[in-house]
Amino acid sequence: MALSKLPMGIATVLFFTNPIFTAILAHLMLQEPFSGRHRLLSALCLLGIALVVLPTFPFTLIGIWTADSWWSLCALLGASAVALAYVSIRKAGTAVHAMVHVTYFGIVGAIGGLVLAAVTGELQHCILPFSNALDFVLILGVGIAALLAQFLMNWGLQLAPAGPAVMMRNSDIVISFILDAVLYRTVPGLFSIIGAMLITGCVINMGLL
């Protein structure tokens, strides 16, 4: 939802706050360390989120939300959900094969997607989404890439602590901003860029702790 409504770079940077949520949940659920430095980075990351979600911050009252702010909240909720999934994979450990997680991810995603499509009235677009061969190839490519990404991410989470493992994906942020500017000619505002840089720096430092 956020990717369809927000600039790709902004949606991506908000989604990639998940290492912060992962570190917090890993501390609560797995008793992994969460030191004073972790707390400082989390607070700075929240400031970065405020700059991205409210581009005119601090000149706008926090209570004034735009439509983009609500889509930003969707991205943050997605980041929180992903963090919970990562910690759950870490909790299950190597006793559960990485493909087991991928299988259940696919099953729940397929069923949940159909239910949400029916509720939102978009089911008619989900039945025959392929108007030509190119559409079919593109959507099939998305599925294959997502399958490989999920498998490799799950495998990595089983082998490394949750925080550093998730941190490795943060190159997506830079790539998304570049693709957004090149493909869609979308350049975020100054405060959004500062917020994105602050979030990225905090997330990288969180992963290195």
Q: At what angle do helices 133-159 and 67-92 cross, to 10 degrees?
A: 50
Average pLDDT for the chain: 78
pLDDT of residue 81: 92
Is 192:51 a contact under the CB 8 Å cutoff?
yes
pLDDT of residue 44: 86
Domain count, the chain: 1
pLDDT of residue 67: 66
pLDDT of residue 66: 64
pLDDT of residue 77: 92
CA dihedral 17, 23, 28, 30 (to 10 degrees): 130
Domain that holds residue 109: 2-208
Residues lower than pLDDT 70 in the chain: 54-67, 125-131, 157, 161-171, 207-209
Please give the model's pTM, rounded to 2 decimal places: 0.67
